[in-house]
Structures are given as C-alpha cells and as structure tokens.
Chain A
Amino acid sequence: MINRKFVNSTSTAQLRATGLCQSVTRVSRWVAVAAAILVANYSSAETTDTLVAEPAKTTTCYLDGLDEQFQCGKITVPENPKQVDGKQIDIHFAILPAIKNTHPDEALLAISGGPGQSAIENAAGFNRMLTKVRQQRDILLIDQRGTGQSNLLSCDDENMSVLSINDSELDTVAMTEACLASIDADVTQYGSNNAVKDFEAVRQFLGYQKLHLYGISYGSRMAQLYMRRYPEALATVTLDGVVPMQQSLVAIGSSIERGLNVLWRDCQSNSECQQHFPDLVNNYNTVDQLLATAPISQQVRDPRTNELAEFMLTRGKFTGAIRMAMYMPNIRALIPHAIHQAAQGNYQPILGIYTLTADSTDIALGMHSSVVCGEDIHRITEQMRKDAKESYIAGSMLDGLVKTCEGWPIPPEDDSFGQPIDSDIPTLLLSGELDPATPPNWGAMAQEKLTKSKHFIAPYATHGVAYQSCGNDLIAQLVDQGSLKDINGDCLQKDVRRSFYLNANTVEALPTVNTPNAIQTTAPANTAADKE
C-alpha cells in the first residue's frame, strides 16, 4: 500500500531521482502487485557487524546511505507463536541512538509501509525525517517479519524483462503458486498481528518503558494494532497516510481514481498547465483506450544501459506508471506532460517514469500477500466491486489481488480485526490531499474512536505527509510534549506545491511564442478551464 519517499537533499550531487522515485516494484511484473498497494523507498540495506559482541544486546553497524555508527541486533521468536518449540525466526532491528539521550527509557518506533518494506533499509529516510525527534530520543527500526533481514519472503523473478513483458498475459495464480512453493516458511504466520507481537518483544528486550509510534501507510495499520494490543506500552502515536482498521487495502483502487481526479483538477485550475494541456483528461482516456485495444510495442533505448530493447507498453504499465508517479510530488508534476506526449505517440516520458518504478524490488511480495490475503481480501465490499467494474485501475487491482490470494491461502482474520481502534493515547493523524492511496477521509475514519486525537490534512502533500511538509515538526512536538494540546496544523497550509512541467525542460511559465499549438495566453483559469 503505501509508500513513502525519501529524498536526499544533503548531498548536492545526489540525484534525487533515486530518492525521489521510489519504487514500486514490478508494477507490471505482476498484475497482482501492480495492483498491490504498496510502495516504497529505495535503498539496499547492508549492515556490517564490526563487533562480535559479548552478551551485548546490540552490535555496531552501518546502514545504507548513512555514515554513522548505529546499533543493530536481533531477537529470536517462534514463527508460529502457538508453537513455541517450533521453527524459530530472527527479527532484526536497528537503533539510531539519540544525539542527547534525555529520555533513555523511551524510543520512537518507526514502522514502514508496503506491506513488505524493510524499515532498516529505509533508515536514511527515517533519519532525515525524524531528525528532531532523534535529538532527544532513540529511533527504533524493526524489520517486520517477512521483510528485510527478518526471514524475508520475497518472490523475485530475476529473469523477467520489465520492458518487454506483457503483464496482461502473466498467469498470476501460477506465479504465486510457484513463489509459494519456493518459500520455506509457514506463510500464514506473517500477518500483522503476529508482527505486532514481535515489535512488543523487541521493546521488552531493549527495555524501553514507553514507545512513541510513527506508522506510515500500511505501517499505520501496524501502529493501530499496537494501540489495540499493548496500549500500556505507548506514549504517543502518529499515523501518516492512514489505513483505518475498517478499511480493506483493496479499496485503494478507488483512491487511485480519486488521485487522478485531483490531478486533473489541479492542472485545470493552474493557468499554465491548463493552457498547455487543455485536453489532458481526453488525452489520458485516448491513450488508455488505445492500450485497452492492444498493447503498443516499440523499439527503444534501454533507459539504463542504452541498448536497443523492445518496450511493450500495456494498459497496466501505463496506468501503473501514472499511479506511482502520483506518490511523489516532483514526479507527479511531470504527469501532464507525459500524458500529453503519449497522446501524440511519444512514449519516452512514460518509459522514463515506468522504469523508475519498475526495477526496484524493495517490497517483499510474499509478506505482502500474507498480509493482504489474510486481512483484506475477505473484506471486499459491494461498493469495491462496483468501483472495480467502472475503473480499470481498481478492477485490475482487485482482480490481481483475488488471483494472488487464490494461490496464497491465508485464513482470514475475524471481524474484530476491522473494528476501529478505541483509545485515549494521544494520536496525530496526517493525510495528504493529493494522496493517491490513502485519501483524507480514511484518516477521518480511523479517528472515529480515538478520543485524544487530531487529524490534519496537508493540502499539497501526497502519500507520506511527514516527508513532504512540516508534518515531521508536528511529530517532534507531539513526542516532546506528550500531548496534542498545543499542536495546530497551520504550517501545513503553507503553499509548497510543485509546478507542473510544461515541456520536457521547465516548470516555469514559457515566454509567449506563436506556435500553432499555443492557445491564447490570456485564458485565466476560470474560463476555458472549467469546461473541459
């Protein structure tokens, strides 16, 4: 489900592209996945144990993208909590130590999204976003079971060419079954409830009296489960890009449609974008319909190697690329141009966006399936089926997930799983108006029984408000004060929107030129714009 991004602004030469574009993961490799919810962050974690510790609980380690020394460790837990003597798995964790540890018995536990992202691999992003919290408290990152170093359940297929593959012809059920067969684990044990137990076990192992939680995307579900199961261990909670307990992840399909509509609205209400791309929605539909008839195959240069390659553009890849681009404000700004170009037969921008999102493999698909198939797939409602009929994106997502779960049988969680969380722990909820995955009304839904909570909607943020706005300052304030009393979301209103790309080069208004295509430059947003 979800994702989050991390942007490395410290190193100037650092291309943000890597940071900015996170990945989505084989969007098209598997319809199912594309469909899936997720998303991500990049980075490949690598921890180096430099000390062979004595009975110490942690050892010194380095994490990808950061030059400091951190503390890493692991605990061993039974894979199946009901069979304590059965198979054991390691749960790895990393501590980013507080700069000045004024609260040694507290830590902030940051929980990744996905489902299937590794928290430790995303340490650099968390470290940057939580700088202020880390001034006085440790940041704790745990690789949830099935992700990262904690008995990773991945379903990588190295042989698949992301460019030439026709994702609509993939046999999802067979691929899922093949993956299941290749995994040596009881995949029914990798749901969120077991994972929360692991988290609590890590807390006790490390001796923290209280945790502050930050859950992004699917991580917000984990945070809510933590609130339900171990409220006494929590001081404050922040849910970012909120997935309410009542909501099935499958509903993300219609959120994507909403995200697109918000994008159309944004472009129309912006005079520059409106003038350059007056037919944006039509353009999108044209390409979408064209691809619905048949995929387009082209000779292209491989975006990375520059070798000649065949690029098969399918409807799934096209919508998948647009969808992933909507997660990142800076790439989102390129969407109107990319659609406009595609409508004119130039698929290079779409190829560029697709390649960013397709070649990352940072979601543990096996773990992703274990979560979704046990917690979400049985909660598909009539409304979702209706949406799925009307929308290709929602439809293909639902279809893909259903097929995946046919090959990945997990006993469903019972109804109590989907009850809203009833709690008086101070809880901050953050939603982005532009979020293509977890729209603001999801945040409101999660807030239903949270008696001490505040929900802020950042008007210019997508998924992962704390990464894109002053949301992280609000978290620092909440952690510091332990209460929501003085927190107001005014700073989120600051206009930080990114301008749309008007051609392949610029976001700034073009000087008026008399090309045949240029529509009259005077048209303000409220005349021609509204008609489209």
Chain B
Amino acid sequence: MKMIFTMVRKELIDAARDKRSVMAGLYYAIGTPLIMCGLFMVLIGQLSSPEDLNIHIKNANNAPDLVRYLSNNGINHADDEQANKITLTISDDYAANMAKAKQAEVLLVADNSDEKLQKSINRLERQLQAYSSEMGSIRLIARGINPSITQPIKINVQDKATADSKGGMILGLAIFTMMYSVFISGMNLAIDTSAGERERNSLALLLSHPMSTRQLVLGKIIAVTCFALLGLVLILLVSKVAYPFVPWQQIGFTVNISQDFMGLMLLVGIPVALMAATLQLYVSFMAKTFKEAQSYLTMVLFVPLALSMAASYNIAPDVLQWLPVSGQQQALMDFIKGRDIPMMQLIVSSVATLIIAVALAVGLEKSLKSEKVVFGL
C-alpha cells in the first residue's frame, strides 16, 4: 500500500513538473464552461428580438392606426441599415379596401433564413395577425355579433415541463462537457506516464525497483484518475460560477448548477474517471511511441464521446441507458430535470464501467510483463 502511495506521489510530482502539460489538461476544464457561457450569451442576445424592434415601414401614411398599434407593441419605423432588413409595405389601396371590408394588403419582405431576424419576423407577423383579428372582432361587434363565435374551440394546454426541465437541453450539453472533461484532463498525464516514460527510458528503471507490476499499474491509474477528477472538480466549480451569468431568463428558464448536482456528478464521475484512466494508460502502453499514443487515444476517445453525445441529444436507442458513460449521463440528466433517477440503470452502467476498468487494469498488468511493451519494440 505504502508502495502504491509512493508511486502515486512520484507520478504526481512528475506531472506537476511539466507545467505546460498540466495546463493543457486543465485548460479544457476551465475553458469549456467559459466558452459555452460566452457563446450562449451572444446567441441569446442575437436570437431574441430586441425590445424595441426597428423595421422599415413604407407608405406608413396609408395606415396610421396600424403603425401606431405596432409602435405600441415596440415595433417602430426607422431608416438605418439594420431596420431595412425587414420591410413592411402598406398597399396604396389599403384604406379603400378596408372601408369596403375587402382584404387590405400589406407586404412583409425579409430574409427568413437569417437567424438573427427570425424572432423579429415572427413577432411582426404575430402583431399584424393580432391587429387583424382584433379588427375582425370589432367588425363583428359592429354587426351585432359576438366575436367569440369565431373561436369554436378553446384550446387549453397544460405543459408538464418544470422550470428545471426547460433548461434540460442546455444542461444536457453542460453535463456532456463535464463528462468529457474526465477523459480530457487526465489524457496528457496518461500518455506522459506511459509512452512518455518509456521514451525517456525510465520505465524499465522503474520496473527494476522492488515492486510488483500491479503496484506500478495501480499507482499510475490512481495518479491519472486524480488528474481526471481534478479536472471534473474544476469544471464543476467554474460552471457553478459561470452559468448564472448567462441571461437564461430571457429565453424563459434558468440553468442552475446546484450543490446536490455537483455532489452527484462527482460521485458518478469516480468510476468513469477510473475507467478513463485505465483506458488511456492501456492504449498508450500499446502504442509504440509517444506520438502514436496521442493518435490512438484521440481515436479511442471518440467512443465515450459518441456515447455521451448521443445521450445528451436523446437520439439514442434505449439500450444506451445501460451502457457506461451514456447511462450515467442519462441518469444525471434525469436528476437535473427533476425526475426520478433511474437507479437500476445508473448502477448497471456504473458497475459496467468499473468492470471495464478492472479488466483493462488486469490487461495492463499482464502486458507490462512483456518486453515488447516495456521497451516499445
């Protein structure tokens, strides 16, 4: 036991010495939430219609009441370039047609593929529609008819979404980045401590010490796991601080990284980190060189990435609930949406994760007994 501890200490000191490598590993954990928050801030700003929407209104004099109505709802005429992207033209015979209860025409010209405009265009259409139906109602009143008869059906909607679940999509993405940070944070150390150590020729030296291969493998796994978990803790802390700064309420919900969630995430993250560490060490040892290890790892990491991604977008078949990584991720998402955690699935996927970790560790132990692996032949 003491040996393992010494081993872990040695690995951590080693890792800490290479500051650039440490930074590269943790950079992801710190940077991702910040970048995501920055992106969402910009996105929310762009996607929501400005409170005062300026558009270009042609022939405004043909329909002063309509123009004032729009203006009361925050849609005003302006002449600058931004306003010109949406043009509303009131036809010349607008008033004449209105007077005869014929359909009076207005023309709305805009580019609906411009994401920044979509909300604004919808809003303008909605207001025009509202004005139109208001006028329709009053025309009926003027004829002695109750306008409510034009709405034979009253549609009552009861949305089962809760305030938490509305932010679920965003949180799914956040959980995905957290899950991935477990894999990314320890990766550099894993390569360095395996393929790197071999390339520096210190691996053979290490093995010549009076310690078992198992101890050596465990020491390395624990060191890498520590790093992975350090990354997870960092990303959780940064997320906790950063997410509340995004004006989520503008799109109607909040994203709250609660302490309960942070605790659960950390707990669930431990088996995943163990698996990530063994997987990375295993692949790195199998590779012949440092460079090769990097390439292989990038490829291998695609698997958990895909699992996690599939779970977060809900595109995957149900079987994913039972698999490592995706199973934990689904459970976390259910938790954050306020549903019951699917305990069975969570346990099965966590156990599966641990089994994979143990299997890889055993494999590692075996392979380190081969000269081929130790000397990278």
Contact = CB atoms under 8 A, between A and B. Distances in A.
22 contacts: A9-B73, A12-B126, A12-B129, A15-B134, A16-B133, A48-B158, A67-B157, A68-B161, A99-B163, A303-B144, A303-B145, A330-B134, A334-B138, A337-B142, A349-B141, A352-B143, A355-B146, A469-B72, A498-B69, A506-B98, A507-B98, A508-B95
A504 B143 contact: yes
A402 to B, nearest CB: 33
A476 to B, nearest CB: 11
Interface residues of A, number: 61
Interface in A317-366: 330-331, 333-334, 337-338, 347-349, 351-353, 355-356, 359
Which residue, A9, A337, A359, has most C-beta atoms of chain B within 10 A?
Answer: A9
A7 to B, nearest CB: 8
User: Which are the 7 A-B pairs with shortest beta-carbon distances?
Assistant: A17-B147, A17-B137, A348-B144, A12-B129, A352-B141, A67-B157, A506-B98
Nearest to A64: B156
B133 A348 contact: no
B88 to A, nearest CB: 15
Contacts of B65: 498-499, 507-508
B112 interface: no
A471 to B, nearest CB: 12
Given A67-B158, A510-B99, A17 B141 contact: yes
Interface in B124-140: 125-127, 129-130, 133-140
B208 interface: no
Contacts of A100: 248-249, 254
Given A508-B62, A511-B96, A17 B148 contact: yes
A507 B95 CA distance: 8
A352 B150 CA distance: 14
A69 interface: yes
A101 B253 CA distance: 10
Contact of B68 (A338, A351, A496): A496
Contacts of B68: 495-499
Interface string A80-113: 0000000000000000010111000000000000
A352 B144 contact: yes
B144 A351 contact: yes
A99 B144 contact: no
B82 interface: no
Nearest to B251: A99
Contacts of B156: 62, 64, 67
Contacts of A462: none
A299 interface: no
Given A69-B159, A300-B144, A352-B142, A99 B252 contact: yes
B267 interface: no
B140 A17 contact: yes
A10 interface: yes
B322 interface: no
Interface of B, secondary structure class, is: helix
A505 interface: yes
A2 B4 CA distance: 80
B140 A352 contact: yes
Given A352-B145, A506-B98, A508-B98, A15 B151 contact: yes
B126 A9 contact: yes
A502 B99 contact: yes
Interface of A, secondary structure class, is: loop
Which residue, A10, A334, A352, has most C-beta atoms of chain B within 10 A?
Answer: A352
Interface string B176-188: 0000000000000
Nearest to B65: A499
Nearest to A98: B249
Nearest to A44: B154
B144 A10 contact: no
Contact of B142 (A300, A349, A509): A349
B126 A494 contact: no
A193 to B, nearest CB: 36
Contacts of B135: 507
Interface residues of B, number: 54
Nearest to A350: B144
B289 to A, nearest CB: 52
A349 B144 contact: yes
A304 B99 contact: no
B373 interface: no
A300 to B, nearest CB: 7
Contact of B133 (A12, A68, A349, A496): A12
Interface string A480-521: 000000000000001111110111111111110000000000
Nearest to A65: B156
A407 B141 CA distance: 36
Given A13-B129, A498-B69, 9 more contacts: A12-B129, A17-B137, A99-B163, A303-B145, A352-B144, A352-B146, A495-B68, A505-B101, A508-B62
Interface in A200-258: none
A10 B62 contact: no
A301 interface: yes
A356 B141 contact: yes
Nearest to B63: A508
A506 B99 contact: yes
B64 interface: yes
Contacts of A13: 129, 133, 151
B72 to A, nearest CB: 4
A506 B158 CA distance: 37
A99 B249 contact: yes
B94 interface: yes
Which residue, A64, A496, A506, has most C-beta atoms of chain B within 10 A?
Answer: A506
A504 B254 contact: no
Interface string B221-256: 000000000000000000000000000111011100
B377 interface: no
Given A508-B64, A511-B99, A494 B151 contact: no
Contacts of B71: 494-496
A228 B126 CA distance: 44
A99 B63 CA distance: 38
Nearest to B148: A18
B95 A511 contact: yes
Contacts of B299: none
A25 to B, nearest CB: 15
Nearest to A497: B68
A10 B159 CA distance: 16
A14 interface: yes
B66 to A, nearest CB: 8
A20 interface: yes
A348 B142 contact: yes
A359 B146 CA distance: 10
Nearest to B138: A334
B149 interface: yes
A15 to B, nearest CB: 5
B152 to A, nearest CB: 11
Nearest to B102: A505
A423 interface: no
A136 interface: yes
Contacts of B249: 99-100, 135-136
Contact of A16 (B94, B95, B125, B130): B130
A10 B162 contact: no
B252 A505 contact: no
Contacts of A348: 142-144
